[in-house]
Amino acid sequence: MLISNSISFIQKIALVLSCSLFVLTATNAQKIDAKSQMLYDALEKVNGGYKKLAKKKDVQFMYYYDDKAKGMDISMEKHIFDGEHSWAEYKQHPVNVLPDMKGTAVQSLVMDKPAVTLDGKKIMDEAALGGAVFLRKVNLYWFAMMYKLADPGTISEYQGKKDYKGKSYDTVRLTYADGSTGKPADDEYILYFNPETHLVDMFYFSLPAFGVNDPILRMECDYTKVDGILLSTERRAYAPNEMGKYGQIGAYSTKDIKFKNKFAKEDFMLK
């Protein structure tokens, strides 16, 4: 059966991935074998690691979320790294943000408290507020993912070399320690490290919470360096049908990236 290209499935992918990042607890130590550590070290040598990203203080960018079946959401995103405060303005939002309503939608998440407005008027609907929590976290997750692979609670195991599109990649299986994510079943990733650039060109992942128990979903990544920071600015998501043939279900672009905007969390609060 072809995995659905519906809004709910795309959101499930993003939501589960976001939980993998944001719910990790510091009480769970990272576990990693020697070869995986070498690959992570090589990646950090190229991208500078999370400390280098965090020194930028904050970021603003345009985000183009293309659901191949439902249309494209376009948002101006603003994020503060310390505290993970987040804000976004959507003038086009047919997919994930109040899709049945017209107007300019704004979401914020400050100190874990969500807020939503439409044309300046507050929206108190629980689903809309829950969507703000989900999107504010997941959009920052996607931006910073390659700087967060070795967070506390992660388990990394080298899986040997595997071929993809004519190139031999070193692969790492990334999972989570029991209880580190707060979920009954954790996801699994197979990361493909490019031997020449040391970047993760692609990864497979599972979604056991939604019946995808094996890492068969695929995300491909292209990178751009902005102000010395190497970012996955173009991503493409694919899912297989019952014959194993992959079809694209989404494309996600990050553009016009600007760091050090001197944002304060008070700037993100909606009145």
Q: Quickly list H helices, the chain.
A: 7-22, 34-47, 49-54, 126-144
Confidence of residue 209 (pLDDT cuts 50, 70, 90): low
Which tens digit of pLDDT belongs to each residue from 42-87? 999 999 999 999 999 999 999 999 999 899 999 999 999 999 999 9
Which tens digit of pLDDT belongs to each residue from 170-205? 999 999 886 545 554 567 899 999 999 999 999 998
Distance CA 141, CA 144 (A): 5
> What is the token pair recorded at 104?
């300019």
Distance CA 14, CA 70 (A): 16
pLDDT of residue 34: 96
- Beta partners for 117? 106, 122
What is the pLDDT averaged over residues 211-230? 93
| pLDDT, greater one: 57 or 25 | 57
> What is the token pair recorded at 35?
């070869």
Query: CB neighbours (10 Å) of residue 113?
Result: 12
Q: Number of folded domains in the chain?
A: 1
Is the residue at 2 inside a domain? no
Sign of CA pseudo-dihedral 149, 154, 160, 165: negative
Is the residue at 55 inside a domain? yes
The owner of tokens 């595997």 is: 162
Is the residue at 1 inside a domain? no
Distance CA 2, CA 8 (A): 15
Distance CA 153, CA 31 (A): 8
State the number of CA atoms in the 13 A half-sphere of 211 facing the CB: 4
What is the pLDDT averaged over residues 125-146? 92
pLDDT of residue 18: 43
Evaluate whether 216 touches 195 at the Cβ level (below 8 Å): no
Checking if the pLDDT of 28 tops 70, the result is no
> What is the token pair recorded at 188?
């699994």
pLDDT of residue 208: 75
- Beta partners for 64? 74, 253
Checking if the pLDDT of 98 tops 60, the result is yes
The owner of tokens 């650039």 is: 197
Where residue 82 sits, what CATH number does that domain have?
2.50.20
> What is the token pair recorded at 84?
């993970």
User: Distances from the Cα of 150 to the Cαs of 11, 140, 142, 160, in angstroms?
Assistant: 24, 17, 15, 19
Structural domain including 58 reads 7-268
Share of the chain above pLDDT 70, in %: 85
**Type of residue at 21:** L
What lies within 8 Å, CB to CB, of 9 at 6+ separation is 3, 210, 249
Distance CA 130, CA 114 (A): 8
* Distance of alpha carbon 48 from the chain centroid: 19
SS3 for 181? Answer: coil
